[in-house]
A and B are shown apart, each in its own frame.
Chain A
C-alpha cells in the first residue's frame, strides 16, 4: 500500500444470504457519501459493489468485499471461495447467466452484473480458477 492510501473497509459476504445481500454495498456507499465523494462516483461504486456482492451471494460459497480509499482513487476488491468462472469471456457477455430459476424469480440473474461492473469502472481485472474468483476494480477520483 502506498502513502496515498487512506482507509480500508472490509465486509464478509455470506453465500445464499439474500436477506443481508446489499448491506456491504450500502455501508460502502454511506461512508463514501458522508466523506463528500462526488455523487456520480458514489453511484458508480454503488453499482459495482452491489453487483460484486450479489455475485458472491449467488455464485460462490462465500467471500469478502473490500473498499480501499486512496487520495486519488477507490479500489473495490471482491474475493470469494467457490467454483470460479470457467469461461470469463462468456461470463462477461451481456445477458449470460447461470443463475438458477429460484433466484431469477427474485429479479437476479439478468446477466448484466459483470458487464456493468466493467462499464462503470476505470480499470477492471478479473482472475478466476477452480477455487474461487477475484475481481479488482479501480475508480479514479
Chain B
C-alpha cells in the first residue's frame, strides 16, 4: 500500500508527499523515547504526541515504517525536513492514539 492510500484508509493527513510503500508489521504507542527505543520494532507504525525532531532519529534507528502524530499536535518544520530527507512518512490526525490504534487493528494490523 502506498502512503497516500494508507492515509486515506485511516483518515490521516500525510504531512509531505512520498511515494514510499507502507509495510506495517506492528504498532507501538508511546511518548517516552527510551521506552519506544526499547519496544518498537522494524516496520512498526509509531503513534505519539511527540513532534520534536528527535522522533525522526528514533524512527530511523528502529527502521519504523511511519510516525503518526495524534491529538492534532503541530509538527515542527525541522522535524518534517528531517523526515523528508530520510523518507520516513509522518501522518497527523486530530484523533486519539486509541482511536488510530483501533483503526489500524481493523485494517488487519495486530
Contact = CB atoms under 8 A, between A and B. Distances in A.
Contact of B38 (A19, A47, A106): A47
A110 B61 contact: no
B54 A112 contact: no
Given A46-B62, A108-B33, A26 B52 contact: no
Secondary structure dominating the interface of B:
helix
A116 B53 CA distance: 22
Contact of A23 (B32, B41, B57): B57
Contact of A39 (B34, B42, B57, B78): B42
Given A19-B78, A39-B42, A107-B50, A51 B57 contact: no
A43 interface: yes
Interface string B28-63: 000111111110011000001010111101101110
A46 B36 CA distance: 12
Interface of A: 18-19, 21-23, 25-26, 29, 39, 43, 46-47, 50-51, 54, 106-108, 110-113, 116, 119-120
Interface of B: 31-38, 41-42, 48, 50, 52-55, 57-58, 60-62, 78
